[in-house]
Amino acid sequence: MLQLTDGDVDELIETVDVVGAVREVFLAHAAQRTVLPEESCLRWTNDQGESCRSLNMPGLVEIDGRRFAGTKIINASLGNPDRGLARADGVVLLFDLTTARPVCIMPAARVSAARTAAVSVLAAELCRSRPARSIAVVGAGALAEAHLSLALHRWPSLQRVRLHDRVPERAALLAERLGAVRPGVVFDVTSTAEQAVHDAELVIPVTTTTTGYIPADWIAEGAVVVNVSLDDLMPDVFTAADKVIVDDWSLVAADTTRLLGRMYRAGDVLPPPRGRITDGAGPHAVEVAAELCDVISGTTSPRASATDRVVINPFGMSLHDVAVAGKIYTAHLGKAPTHFVGAAVP
C-alpha cells in the first residue's frame, strides 16, 4: 500500500483543480454516479474531561470516467488547540475497486481543508452575481487560512477581509501572512464577531463552537453565509433567510447534533422540494430551497434578487475527500514508479 506524506500531499494537491473536482462530484451525485453511506461516529470523553470523536466517512464517486472508492477517518479532541495541536486530524484511505484492498493512505488534514474551502468558494460564486468584495471570517485556524487563500487566488475584486478569533494573536498572525500575499487587500482584526460579520457580503464561520452566537440582525441585506462549522448561527438566521441551501439533505436530516438537523427533528425545517414531506412540520417551518447540485445544474436559482439573504449549510460530503484524494493519487502515479503492493484504482 502506498503511503503519502504531508509533504507529498502538499506538493501534489497543487496540481489538482479542487474547485473543479468538487463541482464534478456534485454533478455526479445528482446523476446517481455516487454511493454515499451515512457516516459513523464514535464519541467519548477523555481523561481530561474533553469531548473527543472519531468519524468514518466512506464514499464512492465516478468523475472524469474514473471511479474512486475510499473513506476519510477524521478524529478530534476539543482540547487539542490548547496543546498546540490541530483540533482534528486523520487519514484518507483509497480502495482498489477489484480486490477491495486499501491501495493508498494519505494525511487527511490538507485534503479536508482544501475540499471544504472549495465547496464554500464554489457555493459563494454560485449564489452571488459577482465575487464578494468584503468577507467576514470568524475563526483563524487552518480552515480559515484555506478559505481565504483560495478566495484571494480566485477573486481579484476582493477588497476587505475582517477576521475575528477568540485568540486575537492568532487572527493577527493570519492577517499578516495573507496580507503579504495580496498587499492591496485590507485585513481588519476585529475585537468581536459582531464587528466582523456586520455589513460583510460573505460570512464564513470556521470555529469549534457548539453554541450559536450569530443572530439574524447581524447579517447584511444581500449577504451569503456559508455555515461551515455548522453551530455558529442562531436559529433565526435560518428563519429570516430568503434561501437556505444544503450540500446533501440526507446527511443533514440524519444528523442529531448540529443545528439544522435538530431544527428538522423539531418540525422547524422542511426538506428540499424533491421528495418533500410536510408531515410534522410547523406552519412557519424553514423551507430548504435546494441542494447545491440543483444550483450547479441550473435546475434551481440560488436567489430571486440581489437583496436576498442566502444561507449555505454544507454538512460535508466524504465524496469530495475521496475524489480529491483520488486525483492526488492519480497525480502521484503519473510522476513516480509504482513501488507499492496493490493494484491501481480502476
pTM: 0.92
Q: Calculate the average pLDDT of the chain.
A: 92
Looking at the chain, the whole-number percentage of residues with pLDDT higher than 90 is 85
Q: Is the pLDDT of residue 344 over 50?
A: no
- Residue 338: its pLDDT value, please? 40
Q: Can you tell me the mean pLDDT for 236-255?
A: 95
Tell me which of 183 and 129 has the higher pLDDT: 183
Q: Three-state SS for 178?
A: helix
Q: Can you tell me the mean pLDDT for 291-319?
A: 94
331: which DSSP letter?
H
Q: Rounded to 5 degrees, what are φ and ψ at 74?
A: -130, 125
Query: Using 50, 70 and 90 to split pLDDT, how confident is the model at 273?
Result: confident
C-alpha span between 239 and 266 (Å, rounded) = 14
- Residue 144: its pLDDT value, please? 97
- Residues 6 or more apart whose CB falls under 8 angstroms from that of 2 comprise 103, 104, 105, 329, 332, 338, 340, 342
Q: Which domains does the chain have, with CATH numbers?
A: 2-111+319-335 (3.30.1780.10), 122-317 (3.40.50.720)
Query: Using 50, 70 and 90 to split pLDDT, how confident is the model at 345?
Result: very low
Query: Using 50, 70 and 90 to split pLDDT, how confident is the model at 281?
Result: low
